[in-house]
Structure 1
């Protein structure tokens, strides 16, 4: 039913915009419209009301200016707006509606008076309610108001792309039902897990960092060199578990601290350090820096990657009520993506590690990772304007199955061409 409802709302909005475009003179902006944007929280509803100043002037029969609406007309306009907004719960009880201090903002080329909005139910529990709204509409019969839910964790509405249009308020439709009590924390959990999968799956830097750590996993460090392990396949499995677990512990710690506001670090240094972490792991893949270095690298730089993960959660503006579930879901998505990468790449790496071609392959891939990481570091440190390898990186990330399939075919061909004994051999 939710999908059907969203389709209907989308069609309604499209029809509304089409009609507006048809009746507008050629080359002119469509008629100014108001907007009500709602963020559904556990115990209250936040949002904002956007009122086009030109339409508002007609409704209140005053000559309004950008400066006047925040000056001599400020008290009158806030009182007028508050009188024409209301909310009623399913039980018929009125909810408290509060407007904060207004500001003027240019939206779609038109000056709008914007009021932050707070709606609170009497029992502190947000459920379905009806929004009553006729600001400007009660005087200007042709005026339209677009009502949108831009955040509702329990229904998986977390980003601008997920926003749900409730409908259009006008002279004939003075109120709309807001489905604030639908959904569940499971929906929010699944959505945040999807964000974690998307964030890592589309992030070339995070994927390359993980790959650099996996390359030496089938090997052992001895005498400052990589050598084949004589305990396959047990050792690679154990090493991969250690690497993935260390990275998970590292990023989970800083993700929780940063998302809760305990730690705040600017994004540019974090992104630059992520590029540096790839360079370090690439060098380690060529020559071991320390024994079991990939585990230490995964744990240490996992702390840095966690700060980057937290920046996305911060952009969502989550409240404390859903923070724990958000962290759980986001981490789940990250770990699922990592396990998928391991499942796609590790079998081929294990097979290749038992062939004479692996040293050249390992060094070649590590050098490519080092080149990419240096390019990212220079760009993120603003030492260069562009990343010349961005197109290649985007293509590789966009074709994971092709990359994994090519690696598997290469591993199979190398295994058929020649094998090395299971005893340790120089790498």
Structure 2
């Protein structure tokens, strides 16, 4: 009975943490969604002007404008003109001599990584007809979608390859563009920043990592989770899981970004949702006892394809692409290590209390529900995800969530009756000292469901 009550207490504490997080995100803010496409502004510095191309993913554009846009609809002359005006109202350039004249033409629909984009040709004209360093301001789509990213790449006249200048997002709309061309190290630094932000603002990648970490302090016995008191073994299990995920996504990230493999973005995003769903179920009941590292590696391959979609279609030269690839991967790994460092101490403490089954099952259950909603949305079974506000909370308040878990762990550990402390009883007289003494759990033997 005590164990059942403890499980209920754990579930209650987890629900209270969820309510607290929900209250923290009631204030209105721009819409958020995981980027099914990341676009690029490709610039070419010429004598007296800068030309370029701007890619607008139609599905993201529809969300930003709150209009039901389709590929056929945007091809209509009137709609093309309207969208051209939208682009020009969200793009400008200036230098010390004053604002530049920005014009846009074209308006063709192109498929980029399996997603239809509306592509405009642009011309940036300085007032003195001398191209020098300038400031580019651009927030098309970014002003409504907090998770959208735009690469800005530059090449000088006569060059075939682009180099990344920087990355724009919903917080940073202005970027300094060097007229002489960007250095490779600039793209490397921007890619590190993008890798960090992509994980930090990618609710599905964060949730997948959390689902992998939930059972890390436990050990599978048959089809049930049980507490493991071997801290060293638990730590190595976490290292194996994180390393396996890193290897998996690094392989497909490199192959995808370099153009050796290509999978439609929506298929990849659906597989990512499926990976969270399976990992969440595994966190509740072991599907592959002891195989967490294999799960992490296998699904890491899918996540790597999503990462590659950010880099593969930017028109970058091989040298710049390799630098961006390394920087982006480094940013991802740094962020994952931060997530592990924030969560694992609390999970290790919680695993030594009788409330952890309730906390774990509740958290994993939420992950399963969110993953199912993502899967339905990405396979077009539903038009609008009803749980977007919850996923936004993962993006906007990661430290609040980590702090809530830490508070639950501290409260649970502070109540002696909730601890599952194992002590060793003295060996009876005449007992063979080579035989291990009996381990007694004073709060009862806790078997995690």
- Scaled by the length of structure 2, the TM-score of the pair is 0.59
SS at match of 2:447: coil
Residue 151 of structure 1: aligned partner: 153
Matched, 1:105 2:106: yes
Q: Residue 140 of structure 2 corresponds to which residue in structure 1?
A: none
Check conservation: 2:353, 2:412, Cα contact below 8 A.
yes
* Structure 2 unmatched ranges of 5 or more: 1-40, 55-103, 109-119, 138-151, 155-161, 423-438, 440-444
Q: Structure 1 116/253 Cα, relative in aligned 2: closer, same or farther at 3 Å?
A: farther
Partner of residue 145, structure 2? none
Matching residue of 2:222: 223
Aligned equivalents of 2:121 and 2:446: distance in 1?
A: 70
Equivalent in the alignment of 1:89: none
**1:230 partner SS:** coil
For residue 207 of structure 1, give the secondary structure of its aligned residue in structure 2.
helix
What is the CA-CA distance between 1:416 and the residue it aligns to?
A: 1.3
> Alignment partner of 1:227: what SS?
strand
Q: In the alignment, which of 318, 321, 330 is matched to residue 320 of structure 1? A: 318
1:365 paired residue number: 363
Residue 48 of structure 1 and its aligned partner are, at CA, apart by: 3.9
CA distance in 2, matches of 1:37, 1:271: 25
2:235 pairs with one of 234, 237, 251: 237
1:20 counterpart residue number? none
Q: Secondary structure at the match of 2:153?
A: strand
| Aligned-partner Cα distance in 2 for 1:400–1:115 | 38
Of 184-193 and 255-264, the range deviating more from structure 2:
184-193
Partner residue, 1:420: 420
User: How big is the alpha-carbon RMSD for the aligned residues of Structure 1 and Structure 2?
Assistant: 3.4
Distance 1:38 1:393, change over 3 A: closer
**Cα distance in 2 for residues equivalent to 1:364 and 1:164:** 43
Is the CA contact (8 Å cut-off) linking 1:284 and 1:293 kept in structure 2? Answer: no
Q: Distance in 2 between matches of 1:260 and 1:185?
A: 17
Per-residue deviation, residues 102-141 of structure 1 (Å, max 9, x unmatched)? x96169xxxxx96999xxxxxxxxxxxx99959xxxxxxx
Match of 2:260 in 1: 262
Cα offset for 1:151? 1.7
Distance 1:326 1:37 in 2: 16
Q: 1:230-288: per-residue Cα shift (whole Å, max 9, x none)?
A: 21x21221111111100011101111111011111111111011000001001110111
Q: 1:39 to 1:221 in 2, by over 3 A?
A: farther
**Is the contact between residue 157 and residue 163 of structure 1 (CA under 8 Å) also seen in structure 2?**
no
2:33 aligned partner: none
**Is 1:209 the counterpart of 2:211 in the alignment?**
no
Give the match for residue 272 of structure 2. 274
Matched residue, 1:26: none
Structure 1: any 5+ residue segments left out of the alignment? 1-35, 51-102, 108-112, 118-129, 135-145, 167-177
Q: 1:155, CA displacement in angstroms?
A: 7.2
Secondary structure (helix, strand or coil) at the match of 2:329 reads helix
Partner of 2:190: 191
Q: Distance in 2 between matches of 1:333 and 1:115?
A: 31
Deviates more, 1:149-158 or 1:301-310: 149-158
Deviations 1:36-62 (A, max 9, x none): 97347xxxx995499xxxxxxxxxxxx
Residue number in structure 1 paired with 2:297: 299
1:350-394 per-position Cα deviation (integer Å, ceiling 9, x unaligned): 000000001111111111100001111011000011110101110
User: How far did 1:395 drift?
Assistant: 1.9
- Cα distance, 1:244–1:47 mapped onto 2, change above 3 Å: farther
Contact between 2:168 and 2:175, CA under 8 Å: does it hold in 1?
no
8 Å CA contact 1:37–1:148 kept in 2: the answer is no
The C-alpha deviation readout for 1:65-109, integer Å capped at 9, x for no partner, is xxxxxxxxxxxxxxxxxxxxxxxxxxxxxxxxxxxxxx96169xx
Q: Structure 2 vs 1, CA of residues 395 and 225 (structure 1 numbering), >3 Å: closer, same or farther?
A: same
Distance 1:185 1:373 in 2: 38
- Pick 1 or 2: higher relative contact order, CA cutoff 8 A, min separation 6: 2
Instruction: After superposing the two structures, state which structure 1 stretch, 299-308 or 320-329, moved more.
Output: 320-329
TM-score where L is the length of structure 1: 0.62
Q: Following the alignment from structure 2 to structure 1, what is the Cα–Cα distance between the partners of residues 280 and 164?
A: 42
Which range is displaced more, 287-296 or 383-392? Answer: 287-296
Give the aligned partner of residue 179 of structure 1: 179
Size of the aligned set, in residue pairs, is: 296
SS in 2 for 1:240: helix
1:165 is displaced (CA, Å) by 6.9
- Secondary structure at the residue paired with 1:105? strand
The answer as to whether partners of 2:352 and 2:420 remain within 8 angstroms in 1 is yes
Give 3-state SS (helix, strand or coil) of 2:219's partner. strand
Contact kept? 1:279, 1:369, Cα under 8 Å:
yes
Q: State the alpha-carbon separation in 2 of the partners of residues 106 and 189 from structure 1.
A: 31
Kept in 2, the 8 Å contact 1:220–1:228? The answer is yes
Q: Is the 8 A contact 1:154 1:186 kept in 2?
A: no
Trace 1:13-28 onto structure 2 (pairs within 5 A). Answer: none
